[in-house]
C-alpha cells in the first residue's frame, strides 16, 4: 500500500498542463495499460472508453495524475480528462518520457487536429517573460 503521508502538503508546483479557460471534464477510466510510471499529461487512446493506453495517435483523453501501472490497484480506476485545452510542451515531454515520441520532435499536427474532434485542444504555451 502506498504511504499517503505528505510532509509538505501546503506546497504545490504548477506544471502548466492545462492552458486554457475551458474546464476539463474528469472521467474515471476503468483501467490504464502501460509499463512503469505513466506521467500526468500523457495522451491516451481507447477502443471501448473503459481501457486506456498511452499513445501519440488517436488521442481520446489526457492522464490527470501520475500512475504506476506496475501496481494493479493504481492502474484501475484512474482519472483522465476527456476534453479541455492543454499545453503541447507538457504533453510532448510526457510522450518523450514514455518513449512514444522521439526527443526533439513534435506531436504530429494531424493528431492534434484529430483530437479536436473529441474537444481536446492542444497548442504550445510558453511562459510569460519576466517583467524586468
pLDDT per residue as tens digits for the range 93-108: 999 999 999 998 999 9
pLDDT at 127 over 70: no
If residue 37 lies in a helix (H) or strand (E), which one and from where to where? strand 37-38
Cell triple for residue 19? Answer: 492552458
pLDDT (tens digit, 9 = 90+) per residue, 43-61? 999 999 889 999 999 999 9
- Report the predicted TM-score, pTM, of the whole model to 2 decimal places: 0.84
Residue with cell 474546464: 23
pLDDT at 80 over 90: yes
Q: In the predicted model, what is the mean pLDDT of residues 56-74?
A: 92
Q: What is the CATH number of domain 26-123?
A: 2.40.300.10
Q: In the predicted model, what is the mean pLDDT of residues 75-101?
A: 93
Amino acid at each position: 500500500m502506498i504511504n499517503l503521508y505528505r510532509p509538505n502538503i501546503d506546497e504545490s508546483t504548477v506544471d502548466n498542463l492545462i492552458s486554457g479557460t475551458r474546464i476539463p471534464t474528469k472521467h474515471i477510466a476503468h483501467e490504464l495499460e502501460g509499463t512503469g510510471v505513466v506521467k500526468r499529461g500523457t495522451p491516451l487512446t481507447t477502443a471501448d472508453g473503459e481501457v486506456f493506453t498511452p499513445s501519440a495517435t488517436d488521442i481520446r483523453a489526457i492522464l490527470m495524475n501520475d500512475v504506476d501501472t506496475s501496481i494493479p490497484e493504481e492502474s484501475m480506476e484512474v482519472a483522465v480528462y476527456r476534453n479541455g485545452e492543454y499545453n503541447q510542451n507538457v504533453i510532448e515531454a510526457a510522450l518523450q518520457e514514455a518513449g512514444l515520441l522521439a526527443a526533439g520532435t513534435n506531436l504530429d499536427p494531424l493528431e492534434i487536429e484529430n483530437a479536436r474532434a473529441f474537444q481536446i485542444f492542444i497548442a504550445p504555451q510558453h511562459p510569460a517573460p519576466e517583467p524586468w
